Amino acid sequence: MHFQSHAALGWLIGNAAPASDRRLRAWCTAAAVLPDVEGLAYLAGPGAFSAWHHTFGHNACVGAAAAALAVWHHRDRPWARRVLAGALVATAFLSHLVTDTLLSEYAVYPLWPVKTPLWQP
């Protein structure tokens, strides 16, 4: 999927909450595109991109860290709202992994650096 598609899906996830606000939608959108940070490897050339794409950014630990940061960032909100923010950010991050697994030509390594792909096309 393209960056814009991931961003739109994250925004939809953030907007689906009954108590959605701008901050929550921004966190969900950012979490949905966060795994593509390794796309910066393309600056080193197509070979580097092929070697690094769907590795360290598409990692379960990165998703857990994003959810934890969302909970921390919503610390001024009630406890249930913080949990909702963490759950939606984790869902947005997972939406990226799932769509890349199903719709991409690259393998996804959610437990990187363990090179066991979630799906090998």
What is the Cα–Cα distance from 40 to 29, expressed in whole angstroms?
19
Does residue 50 or residue 24 have the better pLDDT? 24
pLDDT digits (tens, 9 = 90+) for 100-117: 888 877 777 777 666 665
pTM comes to 0.85
Instruction: Collapse the DSSP code of 40 into the 3-class scheme (helix H, G, I; strand E, B; otherwise coil) and give the result.
Output: helix
pLDDT digits (tens, 9 = 90+) for 57-80: 788 889 999 999 999 999 999 999
Give the percent of the chain with pLDDT over 90: 50
Closest CA to 7 of 39, 38, 34: 34
